[in-house]
Every structure is written in structure tokens, then in C-alpha cells.
Amino acid sequence: MFRENLLSFLGVSNFVYARQTIRKDIQLLSAAQGEASMTENSATYDGYVTKLYSPEQVACGVFLGGPVGLIYFLRANFLALGNNAAATKTVIYGLLSLLGCLALGLMLQEDVPGIIFAVIYIVAARMVVERHQKTKKDIANSLEYGFHSNWKVFGLGLLCLLGTALALFALASAWHFLFG
């Protein structure tokens, strides 16, 4: 109630209503024309809007989740945009970079800070999102796209952190077994 009154006072409520109405009209038009659209069961679709992770959300998810976060958040955006080939390439290149960084990390001196790898992953993820997906401005100005919740990014980032820890443990154990 307070939010509606505040938006009404600011003159924004008509814009918000109009934007929701336009999104509903776009959905109905797409369905009537028989275009392929995401189902309501999809995790990236809320009935009117295809949800994407913004470059900032991807960077935060990668900061929390490491290499597994990089793979997950980029792949999720590519799938939401309907680019399955890029989603597959993301998984392949992400796993290769995970292996490469682990091998490099095991060969480097102990005095080399590990934050270097985190910065590399964050910068790479942000560049991919901005160049090959949608920028924050594109998502905000679009009637077709919306943002995922920041809490979802936080939770998935923590789950990806667990996945990264498990992957690094498994790879380090295999490395130690093979190369002593």
C-alpha cells in the first residue's frame, strides 16, 4: 500500500502499470503467432518477463562461486536468451579454464596471491556478459527481459562456491595421486 501511494505520488504508477500491460500484450501476441516462447515451468520466466543476470550480478556470483559460478551464471543467461550453442561452449571452456587455473595454481610459488585468479574470472565473466549477452541498461529498458533477484544470486553463488571447493578438492587429489 505504501509503495503504491509513493509511486502514485511520484507519478510512476501509470508507467509501471503500462509496462506490465505491454508485457502481457507481448506474451499474448507471441502465443497467438505461434512463436516459440519459454514455458511457465522455466526458472528464467515469470509469466511476462525472461529473467537474466545483469553483468554486476554475474560478477558477484562469480566472486562468490568461483569458476563453477562463472560457468553457471553465463550458461544460465545464454540458455535464457535461447543460445544453446554458446551455453555448451561456456561449459566446455569453463571446465578447461578450471583445469588450467588449478594446474597453474599448483605449479606457482606459494607467495603468489590467489586473488589473481578471482580477478581474472570476474573480469572475464563481466566482459562476456556485456559483449555477448545483455547489459544492465538493455535489460532495464526492455519489456521482454527482467532481472533475477539479488538474493538468488547470493544463494546460487554460495552453492557454486561449494561446487568449486568440491571440484578443486577432487582435481587436487587426482593431481597428487598422479604426480605425487
Reduce the secondary structure of 4-53 to three states and give it as a string. Answer: HHHHHHHCCHHHHHHHHHHHHHHHHHHHHCCCCCCCCCCCCECCCCEEEC
Tell whether 31 and 45 lie within a shared domain. no
Domain coverage including residue 25: 1-37
| Angstrom distance (rounded) from CA 154 to CA 57 | 9
Tell whether 132 and 90 lie within a shared domain. yes
Tell whether 46 and 30 lie within a shared domain. no
Q: What pLDDT digit, counting tens, does each position of 46-67 carry?
A: 567 889 999 999 999 999 998 8
Tell whether 86 and 28 lie within a shared domain. no
Tell whether 75 and 10 lie within a shared domain. no
| Angstrom distance (rounded) from CA 87 to CA 133 | 11
- Its pTM stands at 0.70
pLDDT bin (cut points 50, 70, 90) of residue 140 is: confident
What's the sign of the alpha-carbon dihedral 16, 20, 25, 26?
Answer: positive
Count the domains in the chain.
2
Tell whether 95 and 17 lie within a shared domain. no
Q: 16 and 7 in contact (C-beta within 8 Å)?
A: yes
Give, in degrees to the nearest 5, the angle at Cα 144 between 78 and 70. 25
Strands (E), the chain: 50-52, 145-147
**Amino acid letter for position 13:** S
Tell whether 96 and 138 lie within a shared domain. yes
147-to-56, 112, 167 alpha-carbon distances in Å: 11, 37, 29
For residue 1, the SS3 value is coil
Q: What pLDDT digit, counting tens, does each position of 79-107 carry?
A: 999 999 999 999 999 989 888 877 777 77
